[in-house]
Structure 1
Amino acid sequence: MIYIGTAGFSYQDWKGHFYPQEFDKRYMLEYYSSSFPVVEVNSTWHALPSPRTIHSMARRTPRDFQFIVKAYQGLTHNYRDNEEDFRRLLEVIRPLEDYGKLACVLAQFPWGFKNTPENRDYLRRFRELIPERDLVVEFRNEGWITDETLDLLRELGMGFCCVDEPRLKGLVKPHVILTSHIGYVRFHGRNYEAWWDRNRESWERYDYLYAEDELREWVPGILELDRGAERTYAIFNNHYRGKAPRNAVMLASLLPAERVVPLGTGGEHPRLWED
């Protein structure tokens, strides 16, 4: 089955676009989880919350709701002396495991994490320090897309994150690849102008609304992933002003209904389709 959701949910600029204009931020998770079956928690990249916070999130969501946890930056952007960060991440995800709501851990490596023997060894270490959990790896550098890499991911039981992002030199192209029992596609938008521009705010990189034809390009690939996977996730990271939930609903409408975990109404979102 295909689970469709967004990267994050607690955005103030989603008010009036996804959430009602005067909506109380304290109830965003409940509202979101009545609309989508999965969320990718991105805040864990910036700082690891307490297990109590994660327990509260698990408790406040429907029984079958799923959480994807993005690995802390100390694991994906620092490659030495970080055993304590791995230990703390395992503590943080434990409540989700107890509730049966942990979909997987997503490890997003930066463009500067290149395909070298040392970094391949680090992937092995990553797996050793997070054993027996579903892991998905997102590379930003196209140099990783080799048969050797894919064989290594299969050996380690780590999923490959397919990406849709600006098709700029050196960035990962829109490959359709399955290396574990989890299929994963992450939609970052195609904002070419802002991607490498250091004079812009970080959110501007993800200010992009997909057209229906652009999402339709991915339908065959998502269905191909889903034929070989136990679960397939399609996650939208083009979060500015509610573009992610808007495109998530659009993608769901393009896929066969019997292959998609149903989306809820979430209050019917009267402004979901407005700019």
Structure 2
Amino acid sequence: MGVLKVGTAGYKYEDWVGRVYPANLRERDFLPYLSQFVDCVEINASFYSLLSPYTYKSMVRKTRDDFEFIVKAHKAFSHEPDKVSEVLQPFKESLQPLIDAGKLGCVLVQFPQRFHNTPENREHLQKVVDWLGDFPLVVEFRHISWVRESVFEFLKQLGVGFVCVDEPKLPGLMPPVVVATSPIGYVRFHGRNAEKWHHHEHAWERYDYLYSEDELREWLPKLKQLVQQTEKTYAIFNNHWQGKGFVNAQMLRHLFSESTE
């Protein structure tokens, strides 16, 4: 029987000021403030650039002992494999402060929707494990072709966790399949803003969605299933616009705790 850790995808959002963060709170105090209310956070900046070990060391210092970080793997591993040789060692070394502090939950590898279930892409997935297998890994697929029992078995063989998702029910997108393929369970809540998912002017519009209590209750039995099958399960809210993910994280923590009493 594992544990459930609930958190948000990212924490440095200007639109959270006055909604999540007090209006006069300095940016350097965002993380310690947030860590009072959630169990973990996804670091998304690591997808776009290589963060310094000192950056992670500062994050460690600003959070309580049992707080954890999920680090999104640099885009080279999932989108630009020709650049892996440049970023592999610096990326791995940057995570050492989190490892030393026992605060690295896992590394999240997020593939694009164009990354379909093909023999070539399964070979690439094996390469990712070869590159990053020193860390606990979870992978998020964006295309429905990966929803196969054979894929789940493949992930189990690799020792890689499958990221379950909640997102709009649109053609080609991943359905809310719940499966554990490693000791780590993972769910990313992207919101259900179907209207803006593919057609938006700004990226944040896709994640402008507040889950209702009833929608979160749908996930309680699924989360309990994951918790029973894993050592640790993360529930991460990516519906970040104007702090909606923060609100939903609080709701889910309360609902899950209430349901297990």
Q: Which runs of 5+ in 1 are unaligned?
A: 261-275
The alpha carbon displacement at 1:107 in A equals 0.5
Deviates more, 1:122-131 or 1:84-93: 84-93
Superposed CA offset, 1:73-100 (max 9, x none): 1111113341232222101111100111
TM-score by length of 1: 0.91
Task: State the AA in 2 paired with 1:38.
Answer: C
Which runs of structure 2 are paired with 1:73-112 in the superposition (5 Å)? 73-112=75-114
Question: Could you say which residue in structure 1 is the equivalent of 2:145?
Answer: 143
Which of 160, 166, 175 is the matching residue for 2:177?
175
Question: Could you say which residue in structure 2 is the equivalent of 1:246?
Answer: 247
Distance in 1 between residues matched to 2:10 and 2:260, nearest whole Å? 23
Cα pair 2:38 2:250 within 8 Å, conserved = no
Residue aligned with 1:80, SS? helix
Which runs of structure 2 are paired with 1:53-68 in the superposition (5 Å)? 53-68=55-70
The alpha carbon displacement at 1:36 in A equals 1.2
Question: Could you say which residue in structure 2 is the equivalent of 1:39?
Answer: 41
Q: Which runs of 5+ in 2 are unaligned?
A: none
Task: State the AA in 2 paired with 1:228.
Answer: Q
Question: Could you say which residue in structure 2 is the equivalent of 1:207?
Answer: 208
Question: Could you say which residue in structure 2 is the equivalent of 1:153?
Answer: 155
Pairs aligned (count): 259
Question: Could you say which residue in structure 2 is the equivalent of 1:194?
Answer: 196
Cα pair 2:4 2:233 within 8 Å, conserved = yes
Question: Could you say which residue in structure 2 is the equivalent of 1:225?
Answer: 226
Task: State the AA in 2 paired with 1:203.
Answer: W
Distance in 2 between residues matched to 1:230 and 1:259, nearest whole Å? 17
Distance in 2 between residues matched to 1:258 and 1:203, nearest whole Å? 32
| CA shift in 2, pair 1:83/1:258, >3 Å | farther
Superposed CA offset, 1:52-76 (max 9, x none): 1111111221111100000111111
Distance in 2 between residues matched to 1:68 and 1:161, nearest whole Å? 13
Identical counterparts, % of pairs: 48
The Cα RMSD (Å) is 1.4
Distance in 2 between residues matched to 1:63 and 1:3, nearest whole Å? 14
Distance in 2 between residues matched to 1:202 and 1:259, nearest whole Å? 36
TM-score by length of 2: 0.96
Distance in 2 between residues matched to 1:81 and 1:121, nearest whole Å? 17
Which of 4, 7, 11 is the matching residue for 2:6?
4
| CA shift in 2, pair 1:11/1:128, >3 Å | same
Deviates more, 1:144-153 or 1:83-92: 83-92
Task: State the AA in 2 paired with 1:154.
Answer: K
Cα pair 2:155 2:181 within 8 Å, conserved = yes
Cα pair 1:206 1:240 within 8 Å, conserved = yes
Cα pair 1:177 1:225 within 8 Å, conserved = yes
Residue aligned with 2:81, SS? coil
Distance in 2 between residues matched to 1:233 and 1:157, nearest whole Å? 17
The alpha carbon displacement at 1:4 in A equals 0.4
Deviates more, 1:127-136 or 1:230-239: 127-136
Cα pair 1:2 1:259 within 8 Å, conserved = no
Compare relative contact order (CA 8 Å, sep 6+) and give the higher one, 1 or 2: 1
Distance in 1 between residues matched to 2:149 and 2:19, nearest whole Å? 42
Cα pair 1:108 1:138 within 8 Å, conserved = yes
Task: State the AA in 1 paired with 2:74.
Answer: Y
